[in-house]
Structure formats: structure tokens, C-alpha cells
Amino acid sequence: MLLLGLTGSIATGKSTVSSKLCQPPYNLPIIDADLLARKVVEPGAPAYAKIVAHFGASTPDLLLEPEPGQDITKGRWLNRPALGRRVFGSSEETQKDRAVLNGIIHPAVRWEMYKQLLICYLKGCWAVVLDVPLLFESRLDRICGTVMVVAVSNPEIQMQRLRARDSHLTREDAENRVKSQGDIREKARRCEARGEGAGVVVYNDGGKEDLRKELDRVMAQVSRSSPQWWAWLLLLCPPLAGMASIWSYYRGQVINTKWKESELSAKAKL
């Protein structure tokens, strides 16, 4: 089974690509890290308790006021915009808060993700999409056979789309949210550096029809590098599947090491 890691940045079109991949002609199961992140912080979940314990005292509006008739026996729901204001930004304090929040949410999301991956494998899926906004940052790219980055070549397109979608954001707010997820062009370069079949970039600079054609082109490349007969072989031979997973992880480690070395070499030349 191919693990197709899907990532991008805010307002690049990653969610649109994800929705297309789960529909014909692809019909791929999607494991959405954002949805899992919401699930693991629901009242009563262990991650929820950790967030309230760390941020509650210093964030008065962290919890929403309950609606009439709402069950709050497990606690009040998190005020996500208030939490977002606490962790989005470039200051040292917000960076520390974001690191704490990621340290709480990421392990819980990984555990849910691995459970869903096992289910997809047992169903004999050809591929499964890991939809993870911070795929590289969380180092989940190491377990992916192929990484797909949805990118824009012009960062101003990203800003325009974000502010059109979330009209309440000021330009400064939008810039902070974009910066918090890293430069998408850097992610595209890192993806392409993985090599043919291991990294593909979907450029979403145009309209919906342009995106459809671009996705068709990229998925044809992915299918050639990981045919469906290979997924069936891995299902019928679990030891081979285990060896393939180890090899994919090792290859991911090697790819990341080479990328870091190339980045250090480039900085040394400046």
C-alpha cells in the first residue's frame, strides 16, 4: 500500500486536492490530520485535558460558553480562534506556545493515524492519502512512499486567496498564518529533491480546470511508480509489507539527511 503524503500551506489548495483524490477516478481513502486534530482535542480526550491545563490559566477565553442544552459533563469546547491567537505569530513567546501545542496534539494525532492506516491496509487499498499540513515539520514524510506538495509559484496568490476566504483577517494576521506554516516554495523544492516517484508537486496557480489537469498529470506519474499489483502483493504477503515499510522509512531518512546536508552547504556558500 502506497502512503501518499499530501501537504501544502494555508490557501494553496491542499484541501481541494484532497477532496478530488477521494472522488472518482481516484477514490483514495483520506486520513486528514486536521480532522484528527479536532477529534483528539474534544472534551474528555487526553490532549484536551493537557491543553486546558497548560493554556487555561493564562487564556481566559480559551473555553467557549456552553450553548443551551449542550452537554458539558466532559468539559466546555475549546475556543479555537482564541487558541490560534495565542500560538500564531513570529514572536519568541508565540513560537514557544506553538511548540507546546504541537507537542500535545501531534503524538495523539499520530496514534489515530496509525490505527486508520492499519485499517486501510487490511482492506487492500492501493494507496492512502495522509493529508498533513505540517508533513515535513512533523517528520511524517519519512514513512511516505511518495510526498505530494500543493504549491503556488507566487506567494501573493496565497495571500489573496486566504484573505478572500477569511475576510475577517487583517493582512498582518494573514501573513502570520502563512509564515507559521513555512514557505511553500521551499516545501516544493524539498519535495522535488526526493527524486522521481518519491516527490511530486501540484502547482495551483490557475483555475479549477487547470488544477484538474495538473492533478491528473501528477497522479499518472504516481501510478507508474507504484502500480496496484504491488499493493495486492503486499497485502497477500505481510512479511514483504513489513520489509517494504522498513525500506520506505530508511529511504525517507536518507532523503532527509541529504536535504539537510545540501541546505547546510548552500548556507555555507552565502
Q: Enumerate the domain spans of the chain.
A: 1-29+127-270, 36-122
Asked if pLDDT for residue 168 goes beyond 90, the answer is no
Mean pLDDT (the chain, rounded): 90
Mean of pLDDT values over 156-183: 84
Confirm if 8 and 133 have CB atoms less than 8 A apart.
yes
Mean of pLDDT values over 210-225: 94
| CATH code reported for the domain at 1-29+127-270 | 3.40.50.300
CA 172, 177, 180, 182 torsion: positive or negative?
negative
Which pLDDT band, with edges at 50, 70 and 90, does 148 fall under?
A: very high
Reading the block at residue 215, the C-alpha cell is 492533478
User: Is 166 in a helix, a strand, or coil?
Assistant: coil
Q: Phi first, then psi: give them for residue 208, nearest 5 degrees.
A: -65, -40
Quick one: pLDDT at residue 270?
Answer: 63
Which pLDDT band, with edges at 50, 70 and 90, does 235 fall under?
A: confident
Tell me 140's DSSP state: G
Quick one: pLDDT at residue 12?
Answer: 93
Asked if pLDDT for residue 182 goes beyond 80, the answer is no
Q: How big is the chain by its Cα radius of gyration, in Å? A: 20
Asked if pLDDT for residue 256 goes beyond 80, the answer is yes
Which pLDDT band, with edges at 50, 70 and 90, does 25 fall under?
A: very high
Mean of pLDDT values over 176-186: 83
Rounded to the nearest 10 degrees, how much is the dihedral formed by the CA atoms of 214, 256, 91, 185?
-20
